[in-house]
């Protein structure tokens, strides 16, 4: 059961990573990157590293996305 | 910045709980997963969330750029001074038990001697670093210290 969950999470992770590289809209790319970080946090938890999962959820999902949104609001949204 | 009512009300409701969770993780860093870095990152994220969902003035009202810079340096200084206190008590740098810091019963809250102090300083440092990072990106190009006039 957990194996199926892990495989699904990894597949979704790969889809997110490829989509971040391919999408043209920068705000959508930031949101996809945030989703990537969230899935990565769950995978860290599954791998038995809860403190890394907490840091990933706070920094990779929250702060990194907020800083990138701040950078977009300073510049243009289109690539 | 973003003038959206749903975002504003949601972040106003959620921010105190995020801050409480961050403080909990910082204070229980020696007992459970987490610690100064994780808790400080969560606490700093809540401050950045307020500044991003309302506007920069609301964030500066919570913690100003100068206060964040002072706390950032002060956290690192407190970490270093805690290590020097251990030297003054006759141990190595950052020594814990051999320098004579009292260790309570294992599993209790006050059971780690200097680790709790160090973790709190690391938490302050990380939280204010993230806030300063965000302010530096979002602010207009003006020299540090001009915010007092705009308040």
Nearest CA in chain A to B33: A51
Q: Is B146 contained in some domain?
A: no
Q: Could you read off the pLDDT of B55-107 as tens digits, one per residue?
A: 777 777 778 888 888 999 999 999 999 989 888 888 888 888 877 777 877 77
Which stretches of chain B are DSSP H helices? 5-27, 36-53, 56-62, 65-88, 114-138, 147-150
pLDDT at position B103, please?
Answer: 81
Q: Is B73 exposed, middle or buried (0-12, 13-18, 19+ CB in 10 A)?
A: exposed
Residues in A closer than 8 angstroms to B137, CB to CB, are 67, 70-71, 74
* Residue B147 clears pLDDT 70, i.e. is over it: no
In angstroms, the separation between the Cα of residue B20 and the nearest Cα of chain A is: 14
* Residue B120 clears pLDDT 60, i.e. is over it: yes
Q: Is A62's CB within 8 Å of B137's CB?
A: no
Q: Is B144 exposed, middle or buried (0-12, 13-18, 19+ CB in 10 A)?
A: exposed
Residues in B closer than 8 angstroms to A74, CB to CB, are 137-138
Q: Is B45's CB within 8 Å of A74's CB?
A: no
pLDDT at position B150, please?
Answer: 44
Q: Is B124 contained in some domain?
A: yes
Give, for A19, the enclosing helix (H) or strand (E): helix A2-22
CA atoms lying within 13 Å on the CB side of residue B93 = 3
* Residue ranges covered by each domain of chain A: 2-74
Q: Is A63's CB within 8 Å of B45's CB?
A: yes
The structural domain count of chain B equals 1
Q: Is B61 contained in some domain?
A: yes
Residue B122 tokens read as: 């690391």
**Region A25-48: what's the mean pLDDT?**
93
Q: What range does the domain containing B104 cover?
A: 5-140
ipTM of the complex, rounded to two decimals: 0.80
Q: Could you read off the pLDDT of B10-42 as tens digits, one per residue?
A: 988 999 999 999 999 999 988 888 888 999 999
Q: Is B64 exposed, middle or buried (0-12, 13-18, 19+ CB in 10 A)?
A: middle
Mutation target to probe the B interface, by most B beta carbons within 10 A, among A38, A66, A68, A72 is: A66
């Amino acid at each position: 059961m957990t194996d199926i969950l892990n495989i699904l999470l990894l597949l979704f992770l790969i889809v997110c990573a490829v989509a971040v590289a391919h999408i043209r809209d920068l705000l959508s790319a930031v949101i996809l990157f945030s989703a990537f970080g969230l899935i990565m946090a769950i995978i860290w938890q599954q791998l038995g590293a809860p403190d890394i999962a907490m840091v990933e959820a706070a920094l990779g999902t929250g702060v990194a996305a907020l800083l990138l949104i701040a950078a977009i609001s300073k510049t243009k949204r289109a690539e | 910045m973003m003038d959206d009512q749903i975002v504003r009300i949601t972040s106003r409701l959620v921010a105190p709980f995020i801050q409480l969770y961050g403080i909990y993780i910082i204070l229980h860093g020696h007992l459970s997963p987490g610690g100064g870095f994780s808790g400080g990152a969560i606490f700093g994220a809540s401050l950045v969330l307020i500044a991003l969902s309302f506007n920069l003035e609301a964030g500066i009202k919570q913690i100003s750029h100068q206060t964040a810079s002072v706390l950032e340096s002060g956290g690192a200084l407190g970490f270093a001074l805690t290590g020097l206190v251990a030297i003054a008590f006759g141990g190595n740098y950052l020594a814990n038990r051999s320098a004579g810091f009292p260790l309570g019963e294992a599993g209790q809250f006050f059971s780690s001697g200097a680790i709790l102090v160090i973790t709190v300083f690391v938490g302050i440092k990380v939280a204010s670093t993230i806030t300063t990072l965000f302010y530096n990106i979002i602010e207009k190009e003006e020299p540090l210290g001009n915010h007092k006039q705009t308040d």
